[in-house]
Amino acid sequence: MKNAIRNITLLTLLTLMCFIYSGPAIAEAAKAYPGSVSQLVSQAKKSIKPISLAAFKAAYDARDYDIIVDVREPGEFRSGYIPGAVNIPRGVIEFKIWPYVGFPEKTNTSKKIILYCKTGGRCALAAKSLQDLGFSNVRAADIKFSAWVKAGYPTISDN
């Protein structure tokens, strides 16, 4: 029992020391980040090429894209998605986009990629990430997926 109390006390002291020592560094680093998620999305939207609902539908109908990516989570995707879209969640897009662009043999970072999500936020962040990786033809649908559905445009559901 004494050993357990001693170990907990030592662990608590070590954690406290790490927090106190790194506190100023963490506070300083936090100043470099936007104050909120909406600010982060807003900043991303300033550096990407958005696409409206009408332009997205026109590109979809004309097959004027190489890949459409739904960046929502798999459960959201299964509940309804645009036919032909692939699901690569926003949190892993930097790692999972590569098979769709010919990596490693013939990587093509100029492929026309259209991203969409539920409200336009995650696809803006994902588009920014892909641009940062060197992709030059990425468009983020500045739409709500519900607007696509409400307009009567095609969807598929796996549920």
Q: How many C-beta atoms lie closer than 10 Å to residue 66's C-beta?
A: 14
pLDDT, position 59: 98
Give the separation between CA 23 and CA 20, rounded to whole angstroms: 5
Helix (H, G, I), strand (E, B) or coil at 50: strand
pLDDT, position 36: 85
Give the phi and the psi of residue 111 in degrees, each rounded to 5. -60, 145
Q: How many C-beta atoms lie closer than 10 Å to residue 127's C-beta?
A: 29
Between 126 and 25, where is the model more confident? 126
Between 10 and 60, where is the model more confident? 60
Label residue 126 by pLDDT band (50, 70, 90).
very high
Tally DSSP H helices, then E strands, for the chain. 7, 5
Helix (H, G, I), strand (E, B) or coil at 109: coil
Give the separation between CA 19 and CA 110, rounded to whole angstroms: 45
Tell me: the pLDDT tens digits for 97-107?
999 999 998 99
pLDDT, position 37: 85
Tell me: the pLDDT tens digits for 1-52?
555 455 444 444 434 344 434 445 444 544 555 568 889 999 999 999 999 9
* R_g of the chain computed on alpha carbons: 21
pLDDT, position 132: 96
Strand runs (DSSP E) across the chain, as ranges? 49-51, 67-70, 86-87, 113-116, 138-141
In order of 18, 95, 115, 116, 151, the CA distances from 51 in angstroms are 46, 24, 9, 10, 16
pLDDT, position 159: 78
pLDDT, position 35: 65
